[in-house]
C-alpha cells in the first residue's frame, strides 16, 4: 500500500510537471520564482496558491498581514501584496474551461466517469463470467481434436482483430438491421465483446496448461470426474492470467474507450477526453491525466491483491 502511494505521487508529479512545461498556459507572477514541486502541491491543493496581487505604495511593514496575505518589498515603502488561498483538485475549485463552463473540473470528470461505468462495468463483468463459463463448457464438451483446433483458430483470429475494427463492424451490422447505434445497451455489448474474446483466449491457454500439470494427472488417475478436476483443482491457477489483465481492464472501465463512446453516443469520460483534445482544453486534460494515472495505479493494486488472494501456490517454496 505504501509503495502504491509512492508510485502515485511520483507518476502524477511527472505527468503534471511535463504537461505544465509543454502547455501554453504558463504565466509569471512578479517576484515569485517558479518551483515545480510547489506547483504540483498547489495543483493538488496541499499548498495555498496565489489568487491575486497588487502594489501597495505606503505599506507599514511593522503591521502584520493576515494569514491569507504576504508581501515582498520593491523599494522604499512600496510592496507587492499577494493574496493566497487553497485551490486545486481536492478543493474542487471551479476554473475557466470551455467544456466545464465554470463548474469544478473534478465534479465534471467524475460525472462522466459515472456515465462510463454504467456501461463498462456490466459489459466487463459479463465478459469475464461468460468467457470463463464458455471455456469450461468447451473443455468439457468438445472431444474431437480437429474441431477443438478449428475453434482455437477462430478464437485467435477474432482476438487478432483490432478492437476499433470490431466496433466498426458492429456499427455496420446495426445499420443493416435498421437498429439505432446510439444506444447504451449496444454500447455495453461493444464493451463486452472487446474483452470477451481476449479473456476467453488467455483463460483457455491457462486452463489447458494447468490440466497438463502433474497433480491434475494424479487426480485423473484417482478417477475424479473432469468437471470436478477443473472446478476444484485447475480453475484457481487458471484465473491468474485474466486477473492480471484486470489491471488494464479496470483502468479502461474507468477511463472509457473513446471510439465506443463516440460511436454509441455515450456521454462518458472517453468522449470528454476527445473533446478536451479537440478544444485544446488544457485544464480538463491535465486533470484527466492526473486522475487517469491515479486510477491506473489503484487498478494495479486491486489486481495484485486478487492474484495474491487466489494464488493456490502462495507460501509454497
* DSSP letters spanning 68-82: TEEEEEEETTEEEEE
At residue 123 the predicted structure's pLDDT band, cuts being 50, 70 and 90, is confident
263, 125, 249, 251: which is closest to 183 by C-alpha?
263
CA distance linking residue 278 with residue 9, whole number of Å:
28
Residues 74 and 109 in one domain: no
22-28 long-range Cβ contacts below 8 angstroms, 24+ apart: 23/282, 23/286, 24/282, 25/282, 25/283
Q: What is the pLDDT of residues 60-82, one digit of tens each?
A: 878 888 888 988 888 888 889 99
3-state helix, strand, coil in the chain (%, to 5): 65, 10, 25
CB-count exposure of residue 43 (10 Å: 0-12, 13-18, 19+)? buried
Q: Which domain holds residue 210?
A: 105-310
109 and 84 part of one domain: no
For residues 152 and 300, state if they share a domain: yes
Count up the domains in the chain and report the number: 2
Same domain, yes or no, for 223 and 279?
yes
Position 82 scores a pLDDT of 92
Q: Residue 137: which CATH number?
A: 1.10.3720.10
**Structural domain contains residue 267:** yes
What gap in Å lies between CA 44 and CA 95, rounded to an integer?
14
Look at residue 251 and tell me if it is in a domain: yes
Which pLDDT score is estimated for 134? 92
CB atoms within 10 A of CB 306: 15
Within-domain flag for 315 = no
Read off the pLDDT of residues 24-48 as tens digits, 9 standing for 90 and up. Answer: 555 678 888 878 888 888 888 888 8
Query: What would the mean pLDDT of 103-129 be, rounded to a whole number?
Result: 85
Comparing 30 with 201, the larger pLDDT belongs to: 201
Place of cell 487458471: 238
> What pLDDT, on the 0 to 100 scale, is given for residue 149?
87
- Give CA 278 to chain center in angstroms: 21
Q: How confident is the model at residue 87 (pLDDT cuts 50, 70, 90)?
A: confident
Among residues 58, 91, 124, the one where a domain terminates is: 91
Domain contains 96: no
Q: What is the band of 125 on the pLDDT scale with cuts at 50, 70, 90?
A: confident
Amino acid at each position: 500500500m505504501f509503495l502504491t502511494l509512492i508510485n502515485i505521487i511520483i507518476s502524477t508529479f511527472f505527468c503534471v510537471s511535463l504537461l505544465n512545461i509543454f502547455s501554453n498556459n504558463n504565466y509569471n507572477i512578479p517576484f515569485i520564482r517558479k518551483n515545480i514541486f510547489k506547483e504540483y502541491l498547489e495543483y493538488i491543493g496541499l499548498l495555498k496558491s496565489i489568487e491575486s496581487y497588487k502594489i501597495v505604495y505606503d505599506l507599514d511593514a511593522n503591521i502584520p498581514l493576515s494569514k491569507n496575505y504576504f508581501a515582498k518589498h520593491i523599494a522604499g515603502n512600496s510592496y507587492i501584496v499577494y493574496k493566497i488561498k487553497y485551490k486545486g483538485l481536492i478543493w474542487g475549485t471551479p476554473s475557466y474551461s470551455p467544456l466545464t463552463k465554470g463548474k469544478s473540473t473534478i465534479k465534471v470528470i467524475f460525472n462522466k466517469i459515472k456515465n462510463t461505468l454504467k456501461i463498462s462495468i456490466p459489459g466487463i463483468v459479463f465478459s469475464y463470467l461468460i468467457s470463463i463459463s464458455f471455456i469450461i463448457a468447451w473443455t468439457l464438451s468438445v472431444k474431437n481434436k480437429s474441431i477443438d483446433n478449428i475453434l482455437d483458430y477462430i478464437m485467435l483470429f477474432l482476438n487478432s482483430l483490432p478492437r476499433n475494427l470490431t466496433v466498426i463492424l458492429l456499427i455496420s451490422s446495426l445499420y443493416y438491421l435498421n437498429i439505432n447505434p446510439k444506444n447504451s445497451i449496444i454500447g455495453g455489448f461493444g464493451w463486452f465483446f472487446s474483452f470477451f474474446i481476449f479473456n476467453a483466449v488467455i483463460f483457455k491457454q491457462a486452463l489447458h496448461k494447468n490440466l497438463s500439470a502433474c497433480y491434475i494427472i494424479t487426480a485423473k488417475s484417482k478417477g475424479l470426474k473432469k468437471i470436478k478436476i477443473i472446478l476444484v483443482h485447475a480453475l484457481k491457477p487458471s484465473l491468474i492470467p485474466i486477473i492480471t489483465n484486470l489491471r488494464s481492464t479496470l483502468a479502461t472501465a474507468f477511463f472509457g474507450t473513446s471510439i465506443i463512446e463516440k460511436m454509441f453516443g455515450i456521454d462518458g469520460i472517453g468522449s470528454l477526453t476527445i473533446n478536451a483534445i479537440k478544444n485544446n482544453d488544457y485544464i480538463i486534460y491535465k486533470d484527466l491525466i492526473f486522475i487517469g494515472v491515479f486510477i491506473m495505479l489503484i487498478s494495479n493494486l486491486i489486481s495484485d491483491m486478487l492474484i495474491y488472494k487466489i494464488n493456490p501456490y502462495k507460501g509454497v517454496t
